[in-house]
Amino acid sequence: MIEHVLEELKTQPFKYFEQDKIMTLEQVHVYRGLYWDTYKYKVSFPDTVNYIYLKVNTEVENYAGATKRSDFQQQVMDSYTNLQRLYEGFRPFSGYSVIKPIACFPEWLTLVTEESPGTDVWSIIREKAKFYPSATDVKELENICQSCGKWLTLFQQITRTPEQDPYDLSTIIELFDSYLSKLVNHPNGMFPGEYQEQVIDFCRQLVLSIPDDDRVVSGIHGDFAPVNILIQNGEITVLDLETPKYGLMYWDSTYFHYHLSTLLEIPIYRPATVAKLQQAFVHGFGTPLDPSKPAVTLCMIHNVIQSLLYLAEHRQNVNWYRKLYDSILYRKHIQWLQNTCRF
C-alpha cells in the first residue's frame, strides 16, 4: 500500500507540496502501533527539506470482508476531514495549531501529515522543573502550561456542538465498567470485584447530580498529555488529533492536570513547583477544576482508573524494583478511589 502512496506523492509534488520540482523521498523511521503504523519520510527538493508522516491503518488486517475494509477507509477519510477542519479552525489564532494534513488515500488506508517542529512539553517540564528550578525556568514553564490551557479552550470553542447537549453520561459509566472489569480480571491486578460495584454505584449517583451546564458537548483529545504537545518559539502544536471524539469539557483539562501531578511520584520534583504549573494551566484554561463539582470528580476518577490499568499491564515488562514501585503507586490509587467513592 505504501508504495502506491509514495509514487503518488513523487509524481504530483505540486498537488501536495506546492512544489513543481523533482523531489526525493527517504524513509527515516517506522513506528509500529496497535492500530496504525507510522512511517517518517524526509522530503527533499532542490532548495528545501521537510519531513512527513504516513500513517497506515493496520487494524483492517484483523478483519475480513469488503464491508470492514470500507469502514476503515471511511475512518481514514474522517480522520483527514477532522484534521483539516481543526487546522483551518486554528489558523486565526496565532501561536496555536495542530499538525498540518497533506493528503488522504483511503484506498490505501493512509493519511499523510507534515511534521511540526518543536520539543514536546513533557521533556521540557521534566528537565527544567527538577529540584529547585530558577525563577526564570519556573516562569517559562508557567507560560508553557498556561498556553496549553489556552489551546484547550480554543479547541473546545472550535469543536463545540450545542446540538448534542447534554452529553450522555451513561457512556462514561459503561467505559468505567469496562476498564474496571479488565482490572478485576487482570492477572497482575489487585482490584477486588466488590470495589468495581462500589465505584460504579458511586459514579451513577455522581452522574445524577451533574447539572446541564457541566454537560455541554465539545471535542476532546482523549490523550491531552504534555508528551503530545509541541512547543517551538512559544507556539503550541498538538499531536494525535486525527480521530474526532466528543465529551465533557473537563475530560482533557483534568487529564493534563493529573499528568502534572505524576511528577510528584519522583522525589526530584517539589510540590510547590508542580502546584504552580497546575495553577498556570488552569489559568490558561479559564475554568476552575473544582473537585467539589461532580463533573470534575467524575473525570478525575477516570484518570485514576486509567492509571491503575496501566500499572497493572506495565508490571509485565519491568524489573523487580520497578514492579515494587508500581505496586506502591497502585495501592495509593486504590486508596484515593476508596476515599473519593466513600467505600
Domains of the chain as residue ranges with CATH? 2-114 (3.30.200.20), 119-341 (3.90.1200.10)
Name residue, grid cell 520540482.
21
Contact 116, 239 (CB under 8 A): yes
Q: Measuring CA to CA, how many Å separate 225 from each of 38, 195, 208?
A: 20, 28, 29
- CB distance 189 to 135 below 8 Å: no
For the stretch 14-59, pLDDT in tens is 899 988 787 899 999 999 987 889 999 999 998 899 999 999 998 8
Per-residue pLDDT, 19: 82
Phi, then psi, of 203 in degrees rounded to 5 = -65, -35
The grid cell for 312 is 497493572
Task: Give every CB contact of residue 167 below 8 A, 6+ residues apart in sequence.
Answer: 215, 216, 217, 246, 247, 248
What pLDDT sits at residue 4? 95
Cβ-contact 29, 44 below 8 angstroms: no
Positions in the chain short of pLDDT 50: none
**Nearest Cα to 253, choosing from 128, 152, 130, 151?**
152
Q: Which residues contact 245 (CB under 8 A, 6 or more apart)?
A: 219, 220, 221, 222
What does the pLDDT read at residue 280?
Answer: 98
Contact 45, 19 (CB under 8 A): yes
Return the beta strands (E) in the chain as ranges: 24-32, 36-44, 49-57, 96-98, 101-105, 110-114, 119-120, 218-219, 229-232, 235-238, 246-247
Structure pTM?
0.94
Phi, psi (deg, nearest 5) at residue 150: -65, -40
State the pLDDT at residue 65: 59
pLDDT tens for 215-233 read 999 999 999 999 999 999 9
- Are 149 and 284 in contact by the 8 Å Cβ rule? The answer is yes
Cell numbers 477519510 correspond to 77
